[in-house]
Protein backbone atom coordinates (compact mmCIF):
# COMPACT_ATOMS: atom_id res chain seq x y z
CA UNK A 1 0.00 0.00 0.00
CA UNK A 2 1.42 3.37 -1.00
CA UNK A 3 1.27 6.25 1.50
CA UNK A 4 0.15 9.69 0.38
CA UNK A 5 2.88 12.39 0.40
CA UNK A 6 1.77 13.93 3.72
CA UNK A 7 1.67 10.56 5.48
CA UNK A 8 5.07 9.60 4.08
CA UNK A 9 6.54 12.87 5.31
CA UNK A 10 5.08 12.36 8.80
CA UNK A 11 6.51 8.83 8.87
CA UNK A 12 10.00 10.03 7.90
CA UNK A 13 9.87 12.77 10.58
CA UNK A 14 8.78 10.20 13.19
CA UNK A 15 11.61 7.82 12.28
CA UNK A 16 14.12 10.68 12.34
CA UNK A 17 12.92 11.74 15.79
CA UNK A 18 13.22 8.21 17.12
CA UNK A 19 16.75 7.95 15.73
CA UNK A 20 17.75 11.25 17.36
CA UNK A 21 16.29 10.14 20.67
CA UNK A 22 18.11 6.82 20.48
CA UNK A 23 21.44 8.43 19.50
CA UNK A 24 22.50 9.72 22.95
CA UNK A 25 21.43 6.45 24.56
CA UNK A 26 23.51 4.50 22.09
CA UNK A 27 26.49 6.82 22.65
CA UNK A 28 26.17 6.57 26.43
CA UNK A 29 25.94 2.81 26.24
CA UNK A 30 29.00 2.52 24.02
CA UNK A 31 31.84 0.85 25.86
CA UNK A 32 35.07 2.80 26.32
CA UNK A 33 37.35 2.54 24.49
CA UNK A 34 35.81 1.82 21.10
CA UNK A 35 38.90 2.95 19.15
CA UNK A 36 42.61 3.62 19.58
CA UNK A 37 43.84 5.48 22.67
CA UNK A 38 46.91 7.73 22.55
CA UNK A 39 49.45 8.22 25.35
CA UNK A 40 51.45 11.43 24.97
CA UNK A 41 55.01 11.47 26.34
CA UNK A 42 56.76 14.86 26.74
CA UNK A 43 60.12 13.06 26.33
CA UNK A 44 61.94 11.65 23.29
CA UNK A 45 61.99 7.92 22.55
CA UNK A 46 64.48 5.66 24.28
CA UNK A 47 64.43 7.00 27.84
CA UNK A 48 62.94 5.65 31.04
CA UNK A 49 59.53 7.32 30.54
CA UNK A 50 59.34 5.93 27.02
CA UNK A 51 59.99 2.39 28.25
CA UNK A 52 57.44 2.78 31.04
CA UNK A 53 54.86 4.18 28.61
CA UNK A 54 55.31 1.28 26.21
CA UNK A 55 54.98 -1.31 28.95
CA UNK A 56 51.75 0.22 30.29
CA UNK A 57 50.41 0.73 26.75
CA UNK A 58 50.93 -2.95 25.93
CA UNK A 59 49.03 -4.02 29.04
CA UNK A 60 46.20 -1.55 28.52
CA UNK A 61 45.90 -2.74 24.93
CA UNK A 62 45.48 -6.31 26.13
CA UNK A 63 42.87 -5.19 28.67
CA UNK A 64 40.93 -2.81 26.41
CA UNK A 65 41.18 -4.86 23.21
CA UNK A 66 41.94 -1.61 21.38
CA UNK A 67 45.25 -0.15 20.11
CA UNK A 68 47.13 2.03 22.61
CA UNK A 69 49.81 4.08 20.86
CA UNK A 70 52.59 6.32 22.16
CA UNK A 71 53.11 9.83 20.84
CA UNK A 72 56.49 11.34 21.83
CA UNK A 73 56.30 15.14 21.98
CA UNK A 74 59.51 16.43 23.63
CA UNK A 75 60.45 20.08 23.93
CA UNK A 76 59.97 23.20 26.00
CA UNK A 77 60.91 21.53 29.27
CA UNK A 78 58.01 19.04 28.80
CA UNK A 79 55.61 21.91 28.01
CA UNK A 80 55.01 20.81 24.40
CA UNK A 81 53.78 17.36 25.35
CA UNK A 82 51.81 18.55 28.37
CA UNK A 83 50.05 21.19 26.26
CA UNK A 84 49.07 18.49 23.75
CA UNK A 85 47.26 16.67 26.55
CA UNK A 86 45.59 19.86 27.81
CA UNK A 87 44.27 20.71 24.33
CA UNK A 88 42.98 17.22 23.56
CA UNK A 89 39.25 16.41 23.72
CA UNK A 90 38.22 15.32 27.22
CA UNK A 91 36.95 11.96 25.97
CA UNK A 92 39.60 9.64 27.43
CA UNK A 93 41.25 8.94 24.09
CA UNK A 94 44.31 11.11 24.87
CA UNK A 95 46.27 10.51 28.06
CA UNK A 96 49.62 11.91 29.17
CA UNK A 97 52.42 10.15 31.03
CA UNK A 98 53.74 13.07 33.08
CA UNK A 99 56.16 13.50 35.96
CA UNK A 100 57.66 15.81 38.55
CA UNK A 101 58.25 18.51 35.94
CA UNK A 102 54.51 19.14 36.00
CA UNK A 103 54.59 20.43 39.58
CA UNK A 104 58.05 22.00 39.24
CA UNK A 105 57.04 24.06 36.20
CA UNK A 106 53.82 25.14 37.93
CA UNK A 107 55.91 26.63 40.74
CA UNK A 108 58.87 28.03 38.79
CA UNK A 109 57.51 29.23 35.47
CA UNK A 110 55.15 32.11 34.78
CA UNK A 111 55.09 31.55 31.01
CA UNK A 112 53.16 28.27 30.94
CA UNK A 113 50.32 28.14 28.38
CA UNK A 114 48.25 26.05 30.80
CA UNK A 115 47.53 25.59 34.51
CA UNK A 116 47.46 22.50 36.70
CA UNK A 117 43.66 22.74 36.78
CA UNK A 118 43.66 22.13 33.00
CA UNK A 119 44.64 18.51 33.66
CA UNK A 120 42.72 15.62 35.21
CA UNK A 121 44.89 13.34 37.39
CA UNK A 122 44.11 9.65 36.73
CA UNK A 123 46.74 7.40 38.33
CA UNK A 124 50.21 7.70 39.85
CA UNK A 125 52.67 4.96 38.95
CA UNK A 126 55.51 5.51 41.44
CA UNK A 127 59.01 6.96 41.68
CA UNK A 128 62.04 6.74 39.41
CA UNK A 129 65.36 6.16 41.18
CA UNK A 130 67.50 9.18 40.23
CA UNK A 131 71.25 9.47 40.82
CA UNK A 132 74.09 11.88 40.24
CA UNK A 133 76.36 10.00 37.87
CA UNK A 134 79.88 10.93 36.82
CA UNK A 135 82.36 9.88 34.17
CA UNK A 136 84.40 6.89 35.33
CA UNK A 137 87.59 8.97 35.49
CA UNK A 138 86.04 11.92 37.35
CA UNK A 139 88.33 12.71 40.32
CA UNK A 140 85.54 12.60 42.95
CA UNK A 141 83.97 9.28 43.98
CA UNK A 142 81.20 10.53 46.26
CA UNK A 143 79.31 13.71 47.21
CA UNK A 144 81.78 14.71 49.95
CA UNK A 145 84.69 14.56 47.51
CA UNK A 146 82.66 16.40 44.83
CA UNK A 147 81.87 19.26 47.22
CA UNK A 148 85.53 19.53 48.27
CA UNK A 149 86.63 19.51 44.62
CA UNK A 150 84.09 22.16 43.59
CA UNK A 151 85.14 24.47 46.42
CA UNK A 152 88.77 24.34 45.25
CA UNK A 153 87.89 25.36 41.68
CA UNK A 154 86.42 28.54 40.18
CA UNK A 155 82.63 28.85 40.18
CA UNK A 156 80.86 27.08 37.29
CA UNK A 157 84.01 25.28 36.18
CA UNK A 158 82.30 21.91 36.79
CA UNK A 159 79.09 21.23 34.85
CA UNK A 160 76.18 18.91 35.49
CA UNK A 161 73.68 17.78 32.89
CA UNK A 162 69.92 17.20 33.17
CA UNK A 163 67.19 16.06 30.83
CA UNK A 164 65.86 19.59 30.50
CA UNK A 165 64.97 22.89 32.16
CA UNK A 166 62.29 22.57 34.81
CA UNK A 167 62.92 18.88 35.43
CA UNK A 168 63.54 17.27 38.81
CA UNK A 169 67.10 16.60 37.61
CA UNK A 170 67.79 20.31 37.24
CA UNK A 171 66.18 21.08 40.58
CA UNK A 172 68.35 18.38 42.19
CA UNK A 173 71.46 20.11 40.85
CA UNK A 174 70.34 23.53 42.00
CA UNK A 175 69.51 22.12 45.44
CA UNK A 176 72.98 20.55 45.58
CA UNK A 177 74.50 23.94 44.77
CA UNK A 178 72.46 25.68 47.43
CA UNK A 179 72.88 23.15 50.23
CA UNK A 180 76.59 22.49 49.62
CA UNK A 181 77.53 26.12 48.98
CA UNK A 182 79.03 25.35 45.56
CA UNK A 183 78.37 26.53 42.00
CA UNK A 184 78.05 23.79 39.41
CA UNK A 185 77.00 24.92 35.92
CA UNK A 186 73.71 23.50 34.62
CA UNK A 187 73.67 22.09 31.08
CA UNK A 188 70.14 21.13 29.92
CA UNK A 189 69.65 18.35 27.34
CA UNK A 190 66.58 17.41 25.34
CA UNK A 191 66.43 13.94 26.86
CA UNK A 192 69.18 11.84 28.43
CA UNK A 193 70.70 9.95 25.47
CA UNK A 194 73.01 12.77 24.33
CA UNK A 195 73.95 13.51 27.94
CA UNK A 196 75.18 9.93 28.39
CA UNK A 197 77.21 10.19 25.18
CA UNK A 198 78.82 13.41 26.43
CA UNK A 199 79.62 11.96 29.86
CA UNK A 200 81.10 8.83 28.31
CA UNK A 201 83.05 10.93 25.82
CA UNK A 202 84.54 13.24 28.45
CA UNK A 203 82.58 16.32 27.30
CA UNK A 204 80.41 16.49 30.45
CA UNK A 205 81.66 15.41 33.90
CA UNK A 206 78.36 14.95 35.75
CA UNK A 207 74.66 14.41 35.20
CA UNK A 208 71.49 13.67 37.13
CA UNK A 209 69.85 10.62 35.61
CA UNK A 210 67.13 8.04 36.03
CA UNK A 211 69.27 5.06 37.05
CA UNK A 212 67.53 2.49 34.85
CA UNK A 213 68.38 4.38 31.67
CA UNK A 214 72.03 4.89 32.70
CA UNK A 215 72.51 1.42 34.16
CA UNK A 216 74.14 -0.09 31.07
CA UNK A 217 76.84 2.60 31.16
CA UNK A 218 77.35 2.09 34.90
CA UNK A 219 77.67 -1.68 34.51
CA UNK A 220 80.06 -1.18 31.58
CA UNK A 221 82.33 0.94 33.79
CA UNK A 222 81.83 4.13 31.76
CA UNK A 223 80.03 5.91 34.61
CA UNK A 224 79.88 5.74 38.39
CA UNK A 225 77.24 6.80 40.91
CA UNK A 226 78.08 9.53 43.41
CA UNK A 227 74.71 9.50 45.20
CA UNK A 228 70.95 9.04 44.78
CA UNK A 229 68.49 11.90 45.21
CA UNK A 230 65.88 10.24 47.45
CA UNK A 231 65.79 10.89 51.19
CA UNK A 232 66.45 7.21 51.93
CA UNK A 233 68.53 4.66 50.04
CA UNK A 234 66.62 3.10 47.18
CA UNK A 235 65.37 -0.41 47.98
CA UNK A 236 66.20 -1.22 44.36
CA UNK A 237 69.83 -0.02 44.64
CA UNK A 238 70.73 -0.13 48.36
CA UNK A 239 74.45 -0.21 47.58
CA UNK A 240 74.48 3.46 46.60
CA UNK A 241 74.47 6.18 49.28
CA UNK A 242 72.04 9.06 49.24
CA UNK A 243 73.14 12.65 48.75
CA UNK A 244 71.30 13.28 52.03
CA UNK A 245 73.87 11.18 53.89
CA UNK A 246 76.32 14.01 53.18
CA UNK A 247 73.79 16.88 52.99
CA UNK A 248 70.99 16.13 55.51
CA UNK A 249 67.56 17.16 54.26
CA UNK A 250 68.39 16.75 50.57
CA UNK A 251 65.55 15.17 48.58
CA UNK A 252 64.56 15.50 44.92
CA UNK A 253 62.17 12.76 43.83
CA UNK A 254 60.96 12.11 40.30
CA UNK A 255 57.48 10.61 40.11
CA UNK A 256 55.49 9.36 37.14
CA UNK A 257 51.73 9.32 36.59
CA UNK A 258 48.93 9.54 34.05
CA UNK A 259 46.70 12.56 33.46
CA UNK A 260 44.03 13.47 30.94
CA UNK A 261 42.60 16.83 29.92
CA UNK A 262 40.31 18.55 32.40
CA UNK A 263 36.60 18.12 31.80
CA UNK A 264 36.52 14.34 31.53
CA UNK A 265 33.17 12.98 32.77
CA UNK A 266 33.35 11.60 36.31
CA UNK A 267 32.39 8.08 35.29
CA UNK A 268 35.12 8.09 32.62
CA UNK A 269 37.71 9.38 35.13
CA UNK A 270 36.71 6.56 37.43
CA UNK A 271 36.91 3.91 34.70
CA UNK A 272 40.25 5.02 33.23
CA UNK A 273 41.71 5.44 36.71
CA UNK A 274 40.50 1.98 37.74
CA UNK A 275 41.81 0.41 34.52
CA UNK A 276 45.22 2.01 35.00
CA UNK A 277 45.35 0.88 38.63
CA UNK A 278 44.39 -2.65 37.59
CA UNK A 279 47.41 -2.68 35.28
CA UNK A 280 49.72 -1.08 37.84
CA UNK A 281 48.65 -3.41 40.66
CA UNK A 282 48.94 -6.61 38.62
CA UNK A 283 50.90 -9.28 40.55
CA UNK A 284 53.95 -9.11 38.29
CA UNK A 285 53.99 -5.33 37.88
CA UNK A 286 56.11 -4.45 40.93
CA UNK A 287 58.88 -6.70 39.65
CA UNK A 288 58.59 -5.28 36.11
CA UNK A 289 58.76 -1.72 37.43
CA UNK A 290 61.68 -2.55 39.71
CA UNK A 291 63.59 -3.86 36.69
CA UNK A 292 63.13 -0.37 35.22
CA UNK A 293 64.33 1.34 38.41
CA UNK A 294 60.83 2.45 39.43
CA UNK A 295 59.46 2.07 42.97
CA UNK A 296 55.79 1.12 42.69
CA UNK A 297 53.44 3.55 44.51
CA UNK A 298 50.07 3.60 42.70
CA UNK A 299 47.35 6.13 43.51
CA UNK A 300 43.90 6.75 42.06
CA UNK A 301 42.56 10.07 40.68
CA UNK A 302 41.68 11.82 43.96
CA UNK A 303 44.81 10.82 45.86
CA UNK A 304 47.04 11.54 42.87
CA UNK A 305 45.51 15.01 42.49
CA UNK A 306 46.15 15.76 46.17
CA UNK A 307 49.72 14.47 45.79
CA UNK A 308 50.41 16.82 42.86
CA UNK A 309 49.19 19.76 44.95
CA UNK A 310 51.40 18.69 47.87
CA UNK A 311 54.39 18.41 45.52
CA UNK A 312 53.78 21.97 44.30
CA UNK A 313 53.88 23.20 47.89
CA UNK A 314 57.04 21.20 48.60
CA UNK A 315 58.86 22.46 45.50
CA UNK A 316 57.81 26.03 46.28
CA UNK A 317 59.47 25.66 49.69
CA UNK A 318 62.70 24.04 48.54
CA UNK A 319 63.23 26.13 45.40
CA UNK A 320 62.40 29.57 46.77
CA UNK A 321 66.04 30.44 47.54
CA UNK A 322 67.39 28.92 44.32
CA UNK A 323 68.30 30.73 41.13
CA UNK A 324 66.63 28.14 38.90
CA UNK A 325 66.74 28.80 35.16
CA UNK A 326 63.45 29.39 33.39
pLDDT in tens, 60-95: 999 999 999 999 999 888 899 999 999 999 999 999
217-234 mean pLDDT: 94
Domain residue ranges of the chain, discontinuous segments joined by +: 37-126+254-319, 130-245
Q: Give the model confidence (pLDDT) of 187-211 as tens digits.
A: 998 878 899 999 989 999 999 998 8
Determine the topology of domain 37-126+254-319 in CATH.
D-Maltodextrin-Binding Protein; domain 2 (3.40.190)
> Quick one: pLDDT at residue 8?
47
Can you give the chain as a three-state secondary structure string? CCCCHHHHHHHHHHHHHHHHHHHHHHHHHCCCCCCCEEEEECCCCCCHHHHHHHHHHHHHHHHHCCCEEEEECCCCCCHHHHHHHHCCCCCCCEEEEEECHHHHHHHHCCCCCCCHHHEEEEEEEEEECEEEEEECCCCCCCHHHHHHHHHHCCCCCCEEEECCCCCHHHHHHHHHHHHHCCCCEEEECCCCHHHHHHHHCCCCCEEEEEHHHHHHHHHCCCEEEEEECCCCCCCCCCCCCEHHHCCCCCCCCEEEEEEEECCCCHHHHHHHHHHHHHHHCCCCHHHHHHHCCEEEEEECHHHHHHHHHHHHHHHHHHHCCCCCCC
- When the candidates are 3.40.50.300, 3.90.1570.10, 3.40.190.10, 3.40.718.10, the CATH number that belongs to 130-245 is 3.40.190.10
What average pLDDT does range 274-278 have in this prediction? Answer: 98
Mean pLDDT check: name the lowest of 65-74, 210-219, 237-246: 210-219
* pLDDT of 224 higher than 50: yes
pLDDT at 39 over 80: yes
pLDDT tens, 131-184?
Answer: 999 999 999 999 999 999 999 999 999 999 998 887 888 889 989 999 999 999
Give 109-120 pLDDT, tens digit per residue: 888 999 999 999
Amino acid sequence: MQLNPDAALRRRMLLAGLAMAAGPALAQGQKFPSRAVKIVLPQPPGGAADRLGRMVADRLEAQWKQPVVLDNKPGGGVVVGTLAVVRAPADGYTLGLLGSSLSINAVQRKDLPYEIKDLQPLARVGYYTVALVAAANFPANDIKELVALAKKQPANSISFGSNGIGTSAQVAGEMLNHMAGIELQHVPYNGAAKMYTDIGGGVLPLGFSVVSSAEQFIKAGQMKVLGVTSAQRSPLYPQWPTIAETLPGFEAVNWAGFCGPAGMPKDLVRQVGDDLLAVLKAPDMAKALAAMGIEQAPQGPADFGAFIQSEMKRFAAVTRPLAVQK
